[in-house]
Amino acid sequence: MSTTVGTIAKRPLRSALVALLAGLLPLLAATFLTAPAAAARTETPAAAPAAALTEITNFGTNPSNLRMYVYVPNRVTTRPAVLVAVHYCTGSGPTFYSNTEYASLADRYGFIVVYPSVTRSSKCFDVSSPQALTRGGGSDPVGIKSMVDWVTRTYKADTSRVFATGTSSGAMMTNVLLGDYPDVFAGGSAFAGVPFGCFATTGGSEWNSECANGNVIHTPQQWGDLVRKAYPGYTGARPRMQLWHGTADTTLHYPNFGEEIKQWTNVRGLGQTPSATDSPQSGWTRTRYGASGDKAPVEAISLQGVTHDVLKAGMAARVITFFGLDGGGTVPQPEPGTCKVAVTANAWDTGLTASVTVTNTGTTAVGGWKLGFTLPSGQTVTSGWGATVAPASGAVTATNDTYNAAIAPGASVGFGYQASHTGNSAAPSGFTLNGTACTAG
C-alpha cells in the first residue's frame, strides 16, 4: 500500500481570531497563529518530513473520510510517544496545529503529534452515533485509531504512551476515544467537553441540547457503565483523565464538568472525594482523585468565570506534564556545547525588548534553525524581528527568517522581540537549538 504525504507550510504568526462553533459552539481562541495553506502533495515511500505538518493518505480504515495530518519534530525520542490533538467544530487539523502549542512542545520533548481533520460540512466530530460510541463500530473513532496505528508502525512508537487531547468537539471526542479504545490510549485531556455517551442521539442528529445544557445527570455507576458498554468484556487498565471546564460556559454548560468527574472516577474505581485540592493559578480550583501528584488517575481543573473558550497559552504544557511527556527521565537530554545564546533585555513598567544572539560553537554549519526557550511567567511576546516566535508565552520557539537561516561554525545570528510583562522582566531560559541544549551567556 502506498503512502502519500504532503508538506504543509510552516506556521506564520498572526493576530488572535475567535471562530464560531458551527453556529452553536464558540471556538477555541486562535491566540497567536493562523492556519497555513496546504502545498501540493508529493509521493514518498517513507515517513513524513521532519518539522513540517504533513498530510498522510492511505493510512488505513477510515469510514468517515477523515484527513490525517502529522507533525514529527527534527529530533524524536527512541520509541516516541504519540499525542492525538483533536480540533473543535468548524476547525481542522492544520488550524489546530497552528493555534495550539503542541507542536512546539513536541520539538522540545520528542513526541509525535497527530491532527485528525473532519471533512463533513459541520467540521464537528461524531460523538453522537451508535457507531461512534462502540469500539470498532465505525465513524470517526475508527479512522483516528487507524492514524495511531500508522504512526506506531512507521516510527516504532511506544504503544503504551498514546494520548488524546482536544477542546469542545475535540474534548468530546477525547472522551469517546478513551471509552472506545482503553487498550490504545493511556490518557486524555478534555477542554470544555461532556462525558462519554452524553451526546448520544437518535435519527442522525449531531447535536444534543439536553446534554449541552447540562441537563443529563447520572450516578457515577451509570456513567461508568456507558463507558464499559463501549467495549464489553474488557478487563484491562483504563486511561487516566484530565478535565478542564469554565464555570461560565454557556455552550457546553458547566454541570457537564461534574458529570465527567463522576464518570472517570468510577471508570478508574475511585470515589468522589478528592485526594488533593489546590489552586495552581488565580481563579483555578484543581481536584485530584486517587493520588495527589501530577500522575493522579483523574485530575479536574475548574476555571472561575471562564467561558467555553477555555484553552489558553501555557495550558498545553500542563497537559504534557499530566501525560508525563515533559522529561521525567524518558527523554534523553543532549549535552550543551554546540551553541551559545546571549540575551540583552531592556525593560520598563509593563514591557520589555530583548535582543538574542545565537552562536554556532560547533564544527558543522546550521542550515536552518529553531531556537526553543521558556519565557518567564507573565511575559507575552507582542512583536518580533529576525525570527518568528510562537506561541506568545510559556515554552516558545523562534524560527529563522529566510535571510538568516544559515549559521556557519563560529558565526552568530540575531533576532529580537518585544513583550509585555506583569512584573517579571527576567531573561528567558532553557535554550535549545534544533533540539540540542545551548549554553547561556
Question: Which residues are identified as catalytic?
Answer: 168
Query: How far is 439 from 436, CA to CA, in rounded Å?
Result: 10
Written as one letter, the residue type at 22 is: A
Residue 415, number of CB atoms within 10 A of its CB:
21
Task: Give per-residue burial for 261-289: e unless 16+ CB within 10 Å, then b.
Answer: bbbbbbbbebeeebbeeeeeeeeebbbbb
Q: Which three cell numbers stand for residue 56?
A: 498522510
Q: Give, to the nearest 10 degrees, the angle between helix 220-230 and helix 169-180.
A: 70
Measure the CA–CA gap between 148 and 180, rounded to whole angstroms. Answer: 14
Characterise 192 by phi-psi region: left (phi > 0), alpha (psi -120 to 50), beta (else). left
Q: How far apart are CA 266 and CA 190, in angstroms?
A: 17
- Judge contact between 325 and 81, C-beta under 8 A: yes
